[in-house]
Chains A and B, each alone.
Chain A
Amino acid sequence: MKELSEAELKKIDYNCRKATFLIEKQQIANITQTEKMELKIHLAGCSICVTFMQQSAVINQMARKLFDPDSGALKLAKGFKEQLQKQINSQLL
């Protein structure tokens, strides 16, 4: 792997847009070795993106839990349900 020039390093250090893109991609798919290294260098010098990464993971976990319909409390109206069961029963005849 080639050495990074100072200009390239600076670009990595400052590019939070790219870093957050890679953080999101990494949670879902593989990123390349070069990308991994870029991200590592960036995160070593950017506590803001470290915070972003932690929060992003928590959001994913929370979404999964929140959207589990078994834990949901939504209820259909009683009248609607009675009608619906009647409709089903009539189809069964």
Chain B
Amino acid sequence: MLITDSGNNTTDNSAVNPHHWVSRYADYLYTYAVLRINDDDLSRDLVQETFLAALEQMQNFKGISTEKTWLTAILKNKIMDVYRSRSKGLVKGVKSINPDGIDTGFFDDDTGHWNDQHRPANMGIEQADAVENKEFQQILTACMNKLPDLWRAVFSMKHIDDESTEMICSELKLSSSNFWVIVHRSKINLRSCLQKNWI
């Protein structure tokens, strides 16, 4: 355990207590991982790796953040590695797409107008109180899981973890124009999937 010669931060040291890690944080970290990488087995492995890495890094824990925040940060780095390995090869596929040439049938090729079958209709979710609806949440999760891994990673990092665009692009080795194409396409697909399954 960390021993400091100053009496100022003794409370910080007591904040790390590996004997309680599993009971306090394992489910939280597991949920955090599953929501982001959508793989139960891999998530379980990452939780284990997180605790083991934390044990080795214990002397670096400064007590500035809480134990939970610190453990989450370690897990987050491991999730980034998963994103990176998954997005290898996928980026190539995106590069070949002309940013304006979205060819999935959502828009008319000539006019850019919505094609009939993909036209947004009122879903009754336009007011934010629909956010509480459990059934709708399940459909959203299912629709997110249908997105290609790279798109899902971009969506999670931006909209859930609120990462900067620069950080996402550099972590996932995306050009800025690829990033915007993915953001646009992900949302069009997600929204369309919701409409198809909700109404």
* Secondary structure call for the A interface: helix
Once bound together, how far apart are the Cα atoms of A76 and B45, in whole Å?
11
Once bound together, how far apart are the Cα atoms of A61 and B162, in whole Å?
12
Tell me the minimal C-beta distance from B191 to chain A in angstroms: 6
Q: Of the candidates B47, B113, B119, B184, which one forms a contact with A24 in the assembled complex, judged by CB atoms under 8 Å apart?
A: B184
Once bound together, how far apart are the Cα atoms of A89 and B51, in whole Å?
11
**Residues of chain B with a CB closer than 8 A to A28's CB:** 158, 165, 183
**Are B111's CB and A14's CB within 8 A?**
yes
**Are B23's CB and A85's CB within 8 A?**
yes
**Residues of chain B with a CB closer than 8 A to A5's CB:** none
**Residues of chain A with a CB closer than 8 A to B51's CB:** 84, 87-88
Q: Does A51 reach chain B (CB closer than 8 Å)?
A: yes
Once bound together, how far apart are the Cα atoms of A92 and B126, in whole Å?
53
**Are B21's CB and A69's CB within 8 A?**
no
Once bound together, how far apart are the Cα atoms of A62 and B194, in whole Å?
12
Task: Please report which residues of chain B, range 121-137, place their CB below 8 angstroms from some CB of chain A when the two chains form the complex.
Answer: 121-123, 125-128, 130-131, 136-137
**Are A58's CB and B125's CB within 8 A?**
yes
A contact residues, range: 35 or more
A64-B159, A81-B22, A92-B55 known; A17 and B144 CB under 8 Å? no
Q: Of the candidates A51, A70, A92, which one forms a contact with B18 in the assembled complex, judged by CB atoms under 8 Å apart?
A: A92
B contact residues, range: 35 or more
Once bound together, how far apart are the Cα atoms of A75 and B141, in whole Å?
18
Once bound together, how far apart are the Cα atoms of A21 and B114, in whole Å?
13
**Residues of chain A with a CB closer than 8 A to B19's CB:** 85, 88-89, 92
**Are A61's CB and B188's CB within 8 A?**
no
Q: Does B120 reach chain A (CB closer than 8 Å)?
A: yes
**Are B156's CB and A67's CB within 8 A?**
yes
Q: Does A66 reach chain B (CB closer than 8 Å)?
A: yes
Q: Does A48 reach chain B (CB closer than 8 Å)?
A: yes
Minimal Cβ-Cβ distance residue in A for B160: A67
Tell me the minimal C-beta distance from A16 to chain B in angstroms: 5
Q: Does A32 reach chain B (CB closer than 8 Å)?
A: no
Q: Name A's B-contacting residues (CB within 8 A).
A: 14-18, 20-21, 24-25, 28-29, 48-49, 51-52, 54-56, 58-67, 69-70, 72-76, 80-81, 84-85, 87-89, 91-92
A-B residue pairs in contact (CB < 8 Å), sample of 12? A18-B100, A24-B180, A24-B187, A51-B120, A51-B122, A55-B123, A59-B190, A64-B160, A76-B27, A80-B44, A85-B19, A85-B21
